[in-house]
Amino acid sequence: MADHVSMALVGCGNIARAHWRGIRYHAPRIRVTAAVDADIDRAEAMAARTGAKAFASLADALVDGDFDAVDLMLPHDQHEAAAVECFAAGKHVVLEKPMAQDLPSCERILKAAERAGTVFMVAEQAQYWPDAREARALIDGGEIGAVITARACFYDPLNVDPAQPRPWRFQLARAGGGISIDGGAHWIRPLRMMLGEIDEVIAATGRHIADMEGESWAQALFRFRNGVVASFNALLHASPVANTEDFRITGSRGEIVIEHGREGRLLLFNAAHPDGKTVMRTFPGKVDSYGAELHDFSQAVLDGKALEASPAFSLGELRTALAMYRSVESGRWEKVWS
C-alpha cells in the first residue's frame, strides 16, 4: 500500500501558495510532483518551490506527469472541464470551492466522480477552522443556552492591480457571481457548522466597484431549519474600514464572538464570564486550515477515511449564494435546497 499521495497542483495562482504551504507543513503524506499553469512562468515558479515538474496544460500533465491526485485551483468557469478530465483519467480530485458556477455543472462533476470511483473533495478550509469547531462545541455544551440569533460579517479588502487586465473573478461569466459565491463561502460554512442547515434566504446586493460585474456587497438573512435567523454581511472594500467581528452568536444565556484578523480571539460571554473569557486565539489555526484540509484528503486517499465534509455537503455554500441571487430577483425568501 502506498505511503504517500503524489499530486499535481493545477492553477499556480493566489490560493496555490496557501495550499503549498499547507502541504509543506501539515500534510506530510502528499508529494507534489507536477505544477500546472497556463502561464508557464507561474508553473515553473511553483515547480521550483516544490521540486515538481512544470506543465503548461492539464492535458500535457495527464499524459506525461506522474501523479495519482490533482488539486484544482482554477477560475470557476474551468472547474467542470478540468475535474471531468481528471476523473476520466482515474485521478483523485481536490477541487477549490465552489464546485462549479451552477448546479447542472455540479451534477455533471458528481457523476464523473462516481464513475471514476476515486476520492473527490471540494476544498473549504473553514471546515477545519479551530475557532468554528470550538464555537460549535461551546453551543453543544450549552454555554450560551439556546441560540437566538447570529451574525456573520465578511469584509474583504480589494486586492487588484489596476495595471493588470480585469481579473476573472470580476467577470460574471467566469466567476458565476460576486463576493457571495466566492469568499462568502468561508463565512457561510461556519454558520452551517454552528447552526445547522440553511432553509431559506432573503438578500439585497449591489455593486460599488466599477469593473466588477458581480455583487461587491451583500446583505442577507438566513433562516436555518431550526428556526434561527442569522444575518450575513459581505463587502469588498477599496477604502479603509474599521475592524469587524467575523461572527457573533447570541444565545439565551450568553454569547460567542469570533474576532477578525491575526490577533483575533474567540470570546465567550455568560454568567460565569460576564466580561468575556478568551477561549482561544484564532491564529495560526485559520492559516493552518489549508494544510488540515489537504491532510484530510490524503487520509481519505490512503486510508479510506471519510472526509470531514462530503462533496454533497459542500454544495450548501453554493446553493446559499445562488438562492441569494434568486432572492435579489424575486424580492422574496428563496429556498436553498429545493
Ligand X SMILES: NC(=O)c1ccc[n+]([C@@H]2O[C@H](COP(=O)([O-])OP(=O)(O)OC[C@H]3O[C@@H](n4cnc5c(N)ncnc54)[C@H](O)[C@@H]3O)[C@@H](O)[C@H]2O)c1
Q: 137-196: which residues touch ligand X (CB under 6 A)?
A: 182, 186
**One residue of 75, 178, 214, 251 binding ligand X per CB under 6 A:** 75
Task: Pick the stretch among 9-17, 25-33, 135-143, 222-230 that binds ligand X (CB under 6 A).
Answer: 9-17
**One residue of 53, 76, 92, 189 binding ligand X per CB under 6 A:** 76
Under rule CB under 6 A, residue 285 binds ligand X: no
**One residue of 78, 118, 127, 298 binding ligand X per CB under 6 A:** 78
**One residue of 73, 93, 194, 321 binding ligand X per CB under 6 A:** 73
Under rule CB under 6 A, residue 42 binds ligand X: yes
Closest residue to bound ligand X by CB: 13
Compute the least distance from the CB of residue 320 to ligand X, in Å.
15
Nearer to ligand X, 94 or 279 (CB): 94
Under rule CB under 6 A, residue 39 binds ligand X: yes
Give the interface size with ligand X as a residue count (CB under 6 A): 22
Compute the least distance from the CB of residue 145 to ligand X, in Å.
32
**One residue of 33, 50, 105, 125 binding ligand X per CB under 6 A:** 125
**One residue of 52, 74, 202, 203 binding ligand X per CB under 6 A:** 74
Compute the least distance from the CB of residue 12 to ligand X, in Å.
5
Convert the chain into a string of H (helix), E (strand) and C (coil). Answer: CCCCEEEEEECCCHHHHHHHHHHHHHCCCEEEEEEECCCHHHHHHHHHHHCCEEECCHHHHHHHCCCCEEEECCCHHHHHHHHHHHHHCCCEEEEECCCCCCHHHHHHHHHHHHHHCCCEEEECHHHHCHHHHHHHHHHHCCCCCCEEEEEEEEEEECCCCCCCCCCHHHCHHHHCCCCCCCCCHHHHHHHHHHHCCEEEEEEEEECCCCCCCCCCEEEEEEEECCCCEEEEEEEEECCCCCCCEEEEEEECCEEEEEECCCCCEEEEEECCEEEEEEEEECCCHHHHHHHHHHHHHHHHHHHCCCCCCCHHHHHHHHHHHHHHHHHHHHCCCEECCC
Q: Which residues bind ligand X (CB under 6 A)?
A: 11-16, 36-39, 42, 58, 73-76, 78, 96-97, 125, 182, 186
